[in-house]
């Protein structure tokens, strides 16, 4: 819950729907499970990627997509997030800030 767009409902939904996240060997496997990877229609040297596959758990996919919309705004730590992060270790706050910078930058790059 130290990340922007992730409050109690999102956190509980992800944990309850996915269970133990260690069953996924890497993030790519998790994204495939949720249907958040792009579809692909390739033949020989030609590679054509399409929209997300939308396979897997639709409830978690919808929740994560809604949370991701928060990253269309510039990176900042709001007073509300600062309050949620007060008792968290510095390492977790650093990871959340780096993720916010990466995700807002990625959104801006896609919009260009």
Average pLDDT of the residues in 59-73: 93
pLDDT digits (tens, 9 = 90+) for 1-36: 889 999 999 999 999 999 999 999 999 999 999 999
Q: Residues 9, 32, 18, 66: what is their CA dihedral angle, to the nearest 10 degrees?
A: 0
112 band by pLDDT with thresholds 50, 70 and 90 = confident
Strand-pairing partners, residue 49, are: 40
Where along the chain do its domains lie? 8-111
CA distances to 4, 79, 102 from 112, in Å: 23, 30, 16
pLDDT for residue 79: 93
Count Cβ atoms within 10 A of the Cβ of residue 57 and give its class: 0-12 exposed, 13-18 middle, 19 or more buried: middle
Is the pLDDT assigned to residue 92 strictly greater than 90?
yes
Phi, psi of 5 (to 5 degrees): 90, -5
Alpha-carbon distance 53 to 82, whole Å?
Answer: 35
């Amino acid at each position: 819950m130290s990340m922007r767009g992730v409050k109690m409902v999102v956190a509980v939904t992800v944990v309850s729907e996915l269970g133990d996240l260690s069953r996924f060997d890497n993030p790519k496997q998790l994204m495939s499970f949720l249907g958040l990877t792009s579809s692909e229609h390739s033949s020989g040297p030609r590679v054509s990627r399409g929209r997300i596959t939308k396979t897997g758990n639709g409830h978690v996919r919808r929740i994560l997509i809604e949370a991701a919309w928060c990253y269309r705004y510039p990176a900042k730590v709001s007073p509300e997030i600062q309050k949620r992060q007060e008792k968290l270790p510095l390492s977790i706050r650093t990871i959340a800030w780096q993720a916010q910078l990466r995700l807002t930058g990625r959104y801006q790059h896609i919009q260009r």
